[in-house]
A and B are shown apart, each in its own frame.
Chain A
Amino acid sequence: MRRYNPQRESNSMNQLTPYLSALLGGVYIGLAALWLMWANGRIAGISGILGGLLRFDKDEFFWRAAFLLGLIISPWIYSRVSGEQIFVYDATPIGTAVIAGLLVGVGTQIGNGCTSGHGVCGISRFSIRSIIATITFMLAGVITVYVMRHLVGGGT
């Protein structure tokens, strides 16, 4: 397991309890979803935005690329503003990560959405489809972690 800047772990933002910082982060995500709908009329579903990118349609390409670029440079901006370095725990073996990426990629396309599209935007529109999708992928995630951590014991 690799650990990044563990000594920074207890700095400013993380002095909020995990519950408060989760809630605050959620509010940011909600505001971002609202802004994208208000300005561009679009659902803030990451897998959907990513999926439409490589058609290279000139009306679609730039806003999609800009949104994804905003996500990608987020850690840099965050560190600049807060003076904190971001660390995450990387405990996934390479092979598992590749299989997970394949499943996430194909699953979001077959099921038309991920945590953001179904879980945030869809539920916020009270879409039954999204509510069912969200319950399903959460259950699948819970069962997967249970199997990996408690039955196989290979995960962390």
Chain B
Amino acid sequence: MKSSALFQTLSAAGAGLLFGQGLIISRMIDPKKVMDFLDIAGDWDPSLAFVMIGAIAVTSIGYRFLFKANRPLFADLFRLPLSKQIDSKLIGGAILFGIGWGLAGLCPGPALVDLSLGLPSVMLFVVAMVICINGYRFIQSLSAKSEP
């Protein structure tokens, strides 16, 4: 393994760990609390909005400074999504994701953090999610190959 790859792996582990602590401290990992946050017509718990406020405040300010550098510490370039297209895929995907999020109160990060808590519903959610992510990517790669 090249040293940059080693540093990338270590720094990613640290980022994952820090991200996980944030999800735990903020209680984003609690499916019921997420549903209470989304339940604006019921006994609404708005506190999780502050997770996003805190995260976006830090990230948006930090990104501005970061992108002044030519390149990241351990990689050749900052990889940013280039697509600017607002299409039915974006909206449709977001709707499907939102329905799933509302049904179980879980999105990908908290679901992974909750894995070790030993709840059957979380484990099955993660299995279904991983199968779907990879199934979708597999089908995409097939159709990309069959194009001329």
Q: Which residues of A contact B (CB under 8 A)?
A: 2, 4, 13, 17-19, 21-44, 46-47, 50-51, 54-55, 59, 62-78, 86, 88-94, 96-112, 114-116, 118-129, 132-134, 136-146, 148-150, 155-156
Contact = CB atoms under 8 A, between A and B. Distances in A.
A88 B16 contact: no
A88 B54 contact: no
A66 B126 contact: no
A124 B56 contact: yes
Given A104-B107, A136-B98, A39 B50 contact: no
Contacts, number: 483
Contacts of B76: 41
B54 A27 contact: yes
Contact of A101 (B53, B102, B128, B134): B128
A101 B129 contact: yes
Contacts of B98: 107, 136-141, 143-144
Chain A CB count within 10 A is highest, among B52, B97, B121, for B97
Contact of A111 (B17, B92, B126): B92
B89 A91 contact: no
A25 B77 contact: no
Interface in B84-116: 84-86, 89-109, 111-116
A105 B32 contact: no
Interface string B47-71: 1111111111111101100100101
Interface of B: 1, 5, 7-33, 35, 38-42, 45, 47-60, 62-63, 66, 69, 71-81, 83-86, 89-109, 111-117, 119-122, 124-137, 140
Contacts of A21: 25-27
B93 A63 contact: no
A109 B132 contact: yes
22 contacts: A13-B25, A26-B50, A37-B72, A39-B8, A70-B16, A71-B23, A74-B17, A88-B31, A89-B30, A92-B106, A101-B106, A103-B103, A104-B125, A105-B132, A110-B92, A111-B96, A112-B81, A116-B108, A120-B55, A136-B91, A148-B102, A155-B103
Given A43-B81, A74-B17, A88-B117, A22 B133 contact: no
B100 A92 contact: no
